[in-house]
Amino acid sequence: MGAKPAKIPAQAPAKLKARKLGPRFLRAFAFAAEKHAGQVRKASTTPYIAHLMGVASLVLEFGGDEDSAIAALLHDVVEDCGGAPMLKEVRRRFGNRVAKIVAGCTDSDTYPKPPWRERKEAYLRHLKSVDANTRLVSAADKLNNIRSILADYREVGEDIWTRFNGGREGTLWYYRALLDEFQRRKPNWAPNRLIREFELAVKELEAMAEAARSSDSEVRLCQEPST
């Protein structure tokens, strides 16, 4: 009888180095809370800071570092709280790297904003050339947004589309185009999990909208007078 092969000892899982958040993150949180004070999520009484916290949480969950998490807290501060001058303040307070990510997540830094479709098409073109950290924050932002849309859609149904400049068709187009862009270039940050979560959310939103279209068509057919 041959000798038994030597038993290879099981290797212990590699220890992951904890990512620590320091005083800069706390300052960014206070800065975001101050600048967005009084703002709420669309058609709700939820303070806007809840969205920023949600995006920062996703960024950290999917591997982002402190600069990316800070940028997540500040990703709307230029667009909603002062335009181009605000970006200079972000750079002064939190550094060039954070400011670069914030700028990359901003679809308008002027007032009044350009028309909705024009802004979104420009942002999609812009995403093609941004770095991985900016794509991470952008994808986390869009995932948090679409999850909120889905939750509200289940509550209020088709009335939800009145909240959005693009209406039903424009909103569906935009999230599908975002998904296509995020899938086009493989990122190096926890790629498949975040993009997969976004894909599932987009498909769920499309399915809900399609079911509503079918229901509307059936109602119209039933209401048409017979000849």
Average pLDDT over residues 109-122: 93
Query: For residue 17, what pLDDT band results from cuts at 50, 70 and 90?
Result: low
Report the distance separating Cα 6 and Cα 202, nearest Å: 51
Say if 33 falls within a structural domain.
Answer: yes
Q: Domain count for the chain, please give it.
A: 1
Say if 227 falls within a structural domain.
Answer: no
Say if 43 falls within a structural domain.
Answer: yes
Q: Is residue 112's pLDDT more than 50?
A: yes
Most confident region among 6-10, 125-129, 191-195 by mean pLDDT: 125-129
Residue pair 94/122 in contact (Cβ under 8 Å)? The answer is no
Tens-digit pLDDT profile for residues 159-218: 999 999 999 999 999 999 999 999 987 655 555 789 999 999 999 999 999 999 887 655
Say if 117 falls within a structural domain.
Answer: yes
Q: Is residue 12's pLDDT more than 50?
A: no
Say if 58 falls within a structural domain.
Answer: yes
CA nearest to 113, candidates 140, 87, 78: 78
Three-state SS at 10: coil
Q: Is residue 11's pLDDT more than 70?
A: no
Tens-digit pLDDT profile for residues 31-83: 999 999 999 998 888 999 999 999 999 999 999 999 999 999 999 999 999 99
CATH of the domain at 154: 1.10.3210.10
Q: Is residue 26's pLDDT more than 90?
A: yes
Give the bridge partners for 47, in sequence order. Answer: 40
pTM, full prediction? 0.86
Q: What is the pLDDT of residue 13?
A: 44
Q: What is the pLDDT of residue 6?
A: 54
Quote the domain boundaries for residue 160: 23-214
Say if 10 falls within a structural domain.
Answer: no
Say if 223 falls within a structural domain.
Answer: no
Q: What is the pLDDT of residue 192?
A: 75
Say if 164 falls within a structural domain.
Answer: yes
Residue pair 146/198 in contact (Cβ under 8 Å)? The answer is yes
Q: Is residue 127's pLDDT more than 80?
A: yes
**What letter represents residue 69's amino acid?**
A
